[in-house]
């Protein structure tokens, strides 16, 4: 990868995002209906490589059940509104009706309500009762406590997630989570995130993670890149972490799934993430627009209610269709935001990839003109790819 001087003696690496690349069709094509987009986390297999992110405007119990019923996976945030309030729908409705200028302040107030351990177990059991895989998340500082409660209640997959996660975290203020001990103590697969580099990805794999979340700051409701100035474009981040996965598998024969988290607006972006090495993707905005989403057309990041330094904002994304239309179609929009599974399978067919592993071997080219070439009328009329 090219190195550039950005000043005297200071080099920088060129990195790439979804809008800068394109996928090259192979020398064969396959009937899309005969492709297999499934993936696994540990021994838990999913028919659809799409995960709903642990955001309160996206996932509640009903949404987790609905997505699970069609073969996907939704992550419930154990430090969200669902575990702070007996009737979270009332609180979310209040948020949806709030003034944009006061939304962040209201979020900070709402999230001051203490988390109730009994609600953690209750929410897990409510999803489990529906017969779908249960996945919940917590920050590293709460992982030991909430992980045990969730596991005992019947949780299938546990996610430890923060803005930037590393094996070597230093703090005198609170107890630091020993990831190696935590992974061994948990009897269910543990997903860790978020990271964006080869070295950190490899360290988590060596410690015992079942899957990794890749992405810092690319989400539509996230302002981390603006507030903190950190992040790596998702294509490069995914390629680097996938390279760590492949090296780790070659050495140990243990496969750790890579999940690209955030930054994808269309089916094409999802396909590019998989071709870059992802086994699955995690989406927030796409699901926040579903009729079944609890946010009623609003979406906010997990770091938005931070008491001192909010790193997210409440945005209005509107409601574009049902969960089934967004995932399986038929698409009622012309911009690639619906029938995401159909987009993956059709792309796989055109690339000549029978499954996710074959799609990861797709030729990728640097092609920033892919978004604008021949799209004069779409640009002028603000339709399709140029909305």
> E strands within the chain?
3-7, 10-13, 21-24, 39-41, 44-46, 50-52, 73-77, 135-138, 157-161, 190-195, 211-214, 257-261, 280-283, 298-299, 315-316, 363-366
Walking along the chain (387 residues) 10 residues at a time, the average pLDDT comes out as 84 94 95 98 96 95 97 96 95 86 85 95 98 96 96 98 76 77 96 94 96 87 76 95 98 98 94 98 94 91 71 83 94 90 97 98 92 72 69
C-alpha neighbours within 13 Å on the C-beta side of residue 355: 7
How far lies 56's CA from each of 115, 121, 137, 301, in Å? 14, 17, 12, 8
Catalytic residues: 222, 316
Tokens representing 136 are: 């919940």
Say how many CA atoms lie within 13 Å of 385 toward its Cβ: 13
Superfamily holding 16-386: Aldolase class I (3.20.20.70)
**Dist. CA 43–CA 41, nearest whole Å:** 6
Are 168 and 190 in contact, with CB atoms under 8 Å apart? Answer: no
pLDDT tens, residue by residue, 100-132: 888 888 888 888 999 999 999 999 999 999 999
């Amino acid at each position: 990868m090219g190195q550039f001087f950005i000043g005297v003696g200071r080099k920088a690496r060129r990195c790439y995002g979804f809008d800068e690349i394109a996928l090259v069709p192979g020398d064969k094509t396959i009937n899309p209906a005969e492709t297999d987009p499934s993936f696994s986390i540990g021994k838990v297999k999913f028919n659809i490589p799409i995960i709903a992110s642990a955001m309160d405007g996206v996932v509640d119990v009903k949404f987790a059940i609905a997505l699970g019923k069609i073969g996907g996976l939704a992550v419930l945030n154990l430090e969200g509104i669902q575990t702070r309030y007996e009737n979270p729908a009332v609180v979310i409705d209040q948020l949806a009706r709030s003034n944009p200028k006061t939304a962040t302040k209201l979020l900070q107030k709402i999230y001051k309500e203490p988390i109730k351990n009994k609600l953690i177990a209750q929410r897990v059991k409510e999803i489990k009762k529906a017969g779908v895989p249960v996945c919940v998340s917590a920050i590293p500082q709460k992982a030991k406590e909430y992980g045990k409660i969730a596991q005992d209640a019947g949780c299938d997959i546990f996610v430890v997630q923060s803005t930037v996660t590393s094996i070597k975290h230093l703090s005198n203020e609170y107890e630091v989570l020993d990831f190696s001990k935590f992974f061994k103590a948990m009897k269910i697969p543990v997903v860790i995130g978020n990271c964006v580099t080869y070295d950190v990805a490899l360290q988590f794999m060596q410690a015992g993670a079942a899957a990794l979340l890749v992405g810092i700051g690319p989400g539509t409701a996230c302002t981390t890149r603006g507030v903190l100035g950190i992040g790596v474009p998702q294509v490069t981040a995914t390629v680097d972490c996938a390279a760590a996965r492949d090296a780790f598998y070659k050495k140990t024969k243990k496969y750790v799934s890579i999940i690209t988290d955030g930054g994808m607006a269309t089916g094409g972006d999802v396909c590019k993430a998989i071709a870059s090495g992802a086994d699955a993707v995690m989406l927030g905005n796409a699901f926040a627009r579903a009729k079944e989403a609890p946010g009623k057309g609003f979406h906010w990041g997990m770091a938005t209610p931070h008491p001192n330094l909010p790193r997210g904002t409440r945005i209005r994304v509107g409601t574009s269709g049902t969960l089934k239309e967004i995932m399986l179609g038929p698409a009622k929009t012309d911009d690639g935001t619906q029938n995401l599974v159909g987009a993956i399978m059709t792309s796989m067919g055109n690339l000549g990839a029978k499954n996710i592993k074959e799609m990861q071997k797709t030729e990728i080219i640097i092609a920033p003109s892919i978004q604008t070439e021949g799209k004069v009328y779409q640009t002028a009329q603000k339709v399709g790819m140029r909305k």
